[in-house]
A and B are shown apart, each in its own frame.
Chain A
Amino acid sequence: MQTLPLNSGSLRLDKNELVEIYDQYSPRLYRYALRLLGDPDLAEECVAETFSRFLQAVKRGGGPTSNLQAYLYRVAHNWIIDSYRNKPALEQLHPELADDKLENPLVQITEDMQRERVRNALFHLTPEQRQVIMLRFYEDWPHEDIAKLIGKTAQATRALQHRALEALRRLLVEQED
């Protein structure tokens, strides 16, 4: 999935290459952030922060020496986790989604609320489980690449996927029964 060649040594990039990196990854990171955050402004902020951190790293002479894509997604995910901590709880955003109200047929669950509910469930996962789901389900990454990103074996990421799906099923599907 690595489309830009990088030196195996320290990160040596000139500005042209950095701009290329931005153009290539910015849309993907935006969609990734938008799925998890649900807010276009926040998603833009996430992208900006991610690349800013990347630039800071490059400036220091550091930065990722191998898997650039994994690095960018990791940084983005970390930012998202931090930003999600400051979000008000789901029930505050959508009181209709409080458990006792779901029974009420008069309550209209809009699609927005449903999406929010799914997002909320995703944030109940551990960070690694969430990464596996996001990258596998929405971006079709092969297990090997995900494994490299989170620093585990492909077998472990499969196990993570299984557990994550189980958890999500409990949160999203069993509730409806």
Chain B
Amino acid sequence: MNRHNRRDKDQIDPRLYENLDLLRPTTPRNPEAAVRGRAKFLAELDTLELASPERARKGILPGWMTNQSKSSAAYATHRKTRFSFSGAFLMITLLVFLFGGASMTAFAAQSALPGDVLYPIKTSMENTQLALSTSPTGRANLQMEFAQRRLLEIASLIEEDQFQEIPAAADQFEAHVRNLMVEVEDVASRDPEQAAKLSAQVSDALTRYAYSMSRMLEQVPEQVQLKMMRTIQNTWLVGNIGEIVFNGAIDRIGPQAWVIAGQAIAIHSATEVKGTFAIGDVVQVRAVRNEDGSLAARYIERVLAGLEEGGSGYPVNNGAGMSGSGDGQDGLSDDPDQTQDQPNTQSGSDGSGQFQNQTQDPNFQGSGSGKDSDQDSSPKPGPGRDGSQSPSDKDN
């Protein structure tokens, strides 16, 4: 074995070997520190009730009550108290069990892992906490705490090679995340301002959870990896139901969806739009993420006019001071690359309900209204872009 080892190392670049070798000799351990460490270990050992290690696994009753004694001789020198089955003592221990045992059990349950006998107690304690909570915000915070506990349990399971318990813990984690989002929606319907704060916290937390789980992936066997990856994905999906806000330039405008900063965003009847829009404009988007991961816009507001040649990119105005060479209309008709219909012809032919909805918003310049002059504010002499919104089926 050793020769094999040496052969491996001989293949190392000698300069690298030299470097690594620097760490080989270690200064001797401080004997006092070593003794102190050992004493600390022994002290901790003493606080553990190792009289019947079966207790946590097999039953709640302490071993001495079920008359099972396990190598008690080994403990003779370590244990502080010795148990004897005298009547009075039994009485006392019964009382302790009845009144103190329950809380001791509950206390012990707190560190239980999936698969432990006490774990269901931990679960029911968590459910009790939820039931006692009076507000969705409180419940949301509890669900976040419980989700985190599931992650810690998974980490412990990994360390102990108890991989078979992980999928169930991952499922529980997902359940917590789902319930969490339900609470967030609840808060959103009552108190939008608090909901915004809560959403931010939740997004933070879920992001952390997803990254934590990703780091654990390399330590688990393949089937568990698959399970955990699915959990991570679901966390991203479910968790992102919170509102997403971002700014970006409009790449494309379509009747049912726009493309902003490369991201397809669905527009629907409830979408609130502020300002007039042209490709290249920078807008602020508030969107929610659907279950399948797609985004639906709740609100779009123009922030900057498009920064094309001749444009100067200052906020919302309609053509004032623009020295650009093209106005929307000209750009549209001159542009050979134009694949979209002319706005004036569009309104009649386009029967899409979406488009109709868009014109309901007074701020929204439907192309049928013939107000193309408003498009002048964003001159588009440039490459192939038109200056109006021209919904066409091709956009989708």
Contacts and interface: CB of A to CB of B under 8 A. Distances in A.
A168 B117 CA distance: 46
B50 A62 contact: no
B159 A34 contact: no
Interface stretch (A49-57, A90-98, A100-108): A49-57
Contact of A137 (B20, B26, B27): B20
Nearest to B49: A59
A22 interface: yes
Contacts of A22: 38, 41
Contact of A71 (B24, B112, B160): B160
A10 interface: yes
A137 B37 CA distance: 27
A80 interface: no
A60 B42 CA distance: 18
Nearest to B109: A60
Contacts of B29: 27, 30-31, 34, 40
Interface in B10-66: 12-13, 15-16, 19-20, 22-24, 26-27, 29-30, 33-34, 37-38, 40-42, 44-45, 48-50, 53-57
B218 interface: yes
A51 B56 contact: no
Contact of A19 (B42, B56, B116): B42
Interface in A46-75: 47-48, 51-53, 55-67, 71, 74-75
A6 interface: no
A151 B71 CA distance: 34
A148 to B, nearest CB: 10
A99 B62 CA distance: 63
B50 A40 contact: no
Contacts of A75: 159
Interface in B215-255: 218-221
A66 B161 contact: yes
Interface in A24-41: 26-27, 30-31, 34-35, 40-41
B16 A47 contact: no
A31 B22 CA distance: 14
A168 B16 contact: yes
A61 B75 contact: no
A109 B26 CA distance: 19
Interface residues of A, number: 67
Contacts of A121: 19
B159 A136 contact: no
B22 A115 contact: yes
Contact of B116 (A60, A78, A136): A60
5 contacts: A26-B37, A30-B34, A51-B44, A66-B161, A118-B20
Given A60-B116, A63-B160, 4 more contacts: A22-B41, A44-B34, A118-B20, A138-B24
Interface of A: 10-16, 18-19, 22-23, 26-27, 30-31, 34-35, 40-41, 44, 47-48, 51-53, 55-67, 71, 74-75, 78, 111, 114-115, 117-119, 121-122, 127-128, 133, 136-138, 140, 142, 150-151, 161, 165, 168-169, 172-173, 176
Interface of B: 1-2, 4-5, 8-9, 12-13, 15-16, 19-20, 22-24, 26-27, 29-30, 33-34, 37-38, 40-42, 44-45, 48-50, 53-57, 70-71, 74-75, 78, 111-113, 115-117, 156, 159-162, 218-221
Leading 9 A-B pairs by shortest Cβ distance: A61-B56, A61-B57, A14-B74, A172-B19, A173-B15, A59-B48, A35-B23, A169-B16, A31-B26
